[in-house]
Structure 1
Amino acid sequence: MSYLSPTDYLPHDAPMLLLESVESVTDDAAACRVTVTPQGVLAPFLTRAGDLPGWYALELMAQTVGIWSGWHRQQKGQESISLGMVLGARELVCAAGHFAANSELTITATLLMQDERFSSFECAILTGEATLATGRVNTFQPSQQELASLFKQGVS
């Protein structure tokens, strides 16, 4: 199956869009890719050695969850781009502390549970067969009214 660009599923613009391609989306999982290079979307965040610091693992995972959500919204004929929120992550581990220069990362998110507004995903970041990071990401889908209140301009 062919997928659109991550920009068609996420409410992110450069430089905060950290994914380069959508590889797959199913009923309960998504996989995306990005390459750690100075020519790619991760360039603004790389160390002098060309590595991506490990703390970006959460955002890579969260954006992959956002791809899953955006794709499903499109399939249902709903507004495809909607702001979601990360409530937190559990057991997030990036053993090396960074993602090496020139590595191609595959980020996966597998749905564990979901209700109308809350979801939990088991996520991993791999290069080839090697698992570089894992964690559970919990998300919340605010209503339009909640978003308006959160981003209200001015003081009442």
Structure 2
Amino acid sequence: MSVINERIENFIPHRAGMRLIDRLLEVDDEHVVAEVDVPFGGLFVRDGQVPSWIGIEYMAQTVSAWAGSRARGSGGQPRPGLLLGSRKYEVHCEGFPSGAKLRVEARVELVATNGLGQFDCRIRMNGEEVAGARISVLDPPEGSKLLGGTA
């Protein structure tokens, strides 16, 4: 497991108000850990918290950081992918309180040669698991028309 000490923007394409994770803590071929500082203001903050359904996007951006790390390791750059869906999103809180620090973990279950992937994801707050899901993603081939490429 590599410990990372670089800006998260070096690993994900998300910017400004749509960059929801703050730090990439660890990454290897099978696992990634990111951290979120739940904001006090912004697009998703309501009544002092971020709704729990945003946890799916925290998970997806953590997977994006994993993909960005792999891309950088082979000389490429992070690029957009697609969150296809989730299975069994279980959450044990109404929302993530502003000021909380979340640990988001994703473990590779499947990555196919066509770019399809499945990850088992967890969110922990104060050491307790507060959300979990399996998410399916697509990392389309470079140049694919799917995300505005030219192929």
TM-score (norm. length: structure 2): 0.89
- 2:67 corresponds in structure 1 to 69
User: Match of 2:95, as an amino acid?
Assistant: H
Shift of 1:149: 5.3
Identity %: 25
Rounded Cα–Cα distance in structure 2 between residues aligned with 1:135 and 1:56? 12
- 1:21 corresponds in structure 2 to 23
- Go from structure 1 to structure 2 and tell me whether the alpha carbon gap of 1:99 and 1:142 turns closer, same or farther (over 3 Å shift): same
Deviation per CA, 1:25-64, whole angstroms, max 9, x where unpaired?
01101111112232xxx6332112x111011011100000
5+ long unaligned stretches in structure 2: none
- 1:80 corresponds in structure 2 to 77
5+ long unaligned stretches in structure 1: none
Alpha carbons 1:36, 1:43 under 8 Å: kept:
no
Rounded Cα–Cα distance in structure 1 between residues aligned with 2:50 and 2:140? 30
- Go from structure 1 to structure 2 and tell me whether the alpha carbon gap of 1:149 and 1:132 turns closer, same or farther (over 3 Å shift): closer
After TM superposition, the structure 1 = structure 2 runs for residues 33-72 of structure 1, keeping only pairs within 5 Å, are 33-38=35-40, 43-48=42-47, 50-72=48-70
Rounded Cα–Cα distance in structure 2 between residues aligned with 1:150 and 1:47? 31
Shift of 1:103: 1.3
Larger Rg: 1
After TM superposition, the structure 1 = structure 2 runs for residues 3-152 of structure 1, keeping only pairs within 5 Å, are 3-38=5-40, 43-48=42-47, 50-77=48-75, 79-116=76-113, 117-146=115-144, 148=145, 151=148
- Go from structure 1 to structure 2 and tell me whether the alpha carbon gap of 1:102 and 1:7 turns closer, same or farther (over 3 Å shift): same
User: Match of 1:111, as an amino acid?
Assistant: V
Rounded Cα–Cα distance in structure 2 between residues aligned with 1:10 and 1:102? 23
Alpha carbons 1:3, 1:24 under 8 Å: kept:
no
Alpha carbons 1:54, 1:97 under 8 Å: kept:
yes
- Go from structure 1 to structure 2 and tell me whether the alpha carbon gap of 1:87 and 1:22 turns closer, same or farther (over 3 Å shift): same
Aligned residue pairs, count:
146
Shift of 1:99: 1.1
Shift of 1:87: 1.0
- Go from structure 1 to structure 2 and tell me whether the alpha carbon gap of 1:150 and 1:109 turns closer, same or farther (over 3 Å shift): closer
Rounded Cα–Cα distance in structure 1 between residues aligned with 2:132 and 2:138? 20
TM-score (norm. length: structure 1): 0.86
Deviation per CA, 1:76-114, whole angstroms, max 9, x where unpaired?
11x221111111100011221211232110111100111
Deviation per CA, 1:113-143, whole angstroms, max 9, x where unpaired?
1111111000011012211100001111112
Shift of 1:150: 5.1
